A and B are shown apart, each in its own frame.
Chain A
Amino acid sequence: DAGVIQSPRHEVTEMGQEVTLRCKPISGHDYLFWYRQTMMRGLELLIYFNNNVPIDDSGMPEDRFSAKMPNASFSTLKIQPSEPRDSAVYFCASSLGSPNEQFFGPGTRLTVL
């Protein structure tokens, strides 16, 4: 199995631009989680899906953030407009059932200038 796939691995953009992060979960997993990791705040859960349906988005910091899961094999996290304080590493993770082991992708390092 290829594991959780995230793209791009690195993204550098300017303030005000739209950023789209992509995730392909492990086939057969029914939960998908988006996290953000920073030095100051550690690992934060932004949103999670069960069977492609958003269950809890209480961790999404602002309306500038949105996430979708149009099918079982693809999810996006969009930031529009981006701001320098959005600079962080964004992880996608998937699991079979929950709570259960979450398999993490390699992350997307976002830098907003």
Chain B
Amino acid sequence: AQSVTQPDIHITVSEGASLELRCNYSYGATPYLFWYVQSPGQGLQLLLKYFSGDTLVQGIKGFEAEFKRSQSSFNLRKPSVHWSDAAEYFCAVGAERNEKLTFGTGTRLTIIP
């Protein structure tokens, strides 16, 4: 069965600093990987996804993620965060022939001035 781990429950970064949110997955074959963002009181919005091909994926709002099969990771990065990036971030994994996505427990991002 597929699983996903987000080891950081809460991260605080300064505005303008770089950001990396960690995501590790467990699945035998090539996974389908997603990063979602949830602002307070709202639903989840897709930032980016990886199915195959180039392992560095560009998303919306200046985010990118890199698929590393050897490390079973799909970390989310942004070179310079903005106060509006404060939100909860969820990594999710899917698999071929499995129609369900498995979501991580989320990482709450706080931005300080």
Which positions in A face B, CB cutoff 8 Å?
4, 31, 42-43, 45, 48, 50, 55-56, 91, 93, 98-107
When the two chains form the complex, which single residue of A31, A42, A45, A106 contacts B43, counting CB atoms closer than 8 Å? A106
Contact, CB under 8 Å: B105 / A42: yes
Given A104-B43, A105-B43, answer yes or no on A99-B103 (Cβ-Cβ < 8 Å).
no
**Minimum CB–CB distance for B101 against chain A, Å:** 6
Residues of B contacting A103 in the complex (Cβ-Cβ under 8 angstroms): 46
Which positions in B face A, CB cutoff 8 Å?
32, 34, 36, 41-46, 49, 90, 94-96, 98-101, 103, 105-106
Contact, CB under 8 Å: A55 / B103: no
Given A105-B43, A106-B43, answer yes or no on A56-B100 (Cβ-Cβ < 8 Å).
yes
Per the bound structure, the CA–CA distance linking A91 and B101 in Å amounts to 14
Residues of B contacting A4 in the complex (Cβ-Cβ under 8 angstroms): 43
**Minimum CB–CB distance for A52 against chain B, Å:** 15
Q: List 7 A-B contacts (CB under 8 A).
A: A42-B106, A48-B100, A55-B99, A91-B44, A98-B100, A102-B46, A105-B43
Given A99-B32, A104-B44, answer yes or no on A43-B90 (Cβ-Cβ < 8 Å).
yes
Per the bound structure, the CA–CA distance linking A50 and B46 in Å amounts to 21
Residues of B contacting A100 in the complex (Cβ-Cβ under 8 angstroms): 32, 94
Contact, CB under 8 Å: A91 / B100: no
Per CB-CB distance, the 9 closest pairs between chain A and chain B, nearest first, are A99-B94, A104-B43, A98-B99, A104-B44, A99-B32, A43-B103, A42-B105, A106-B43, A101-B46
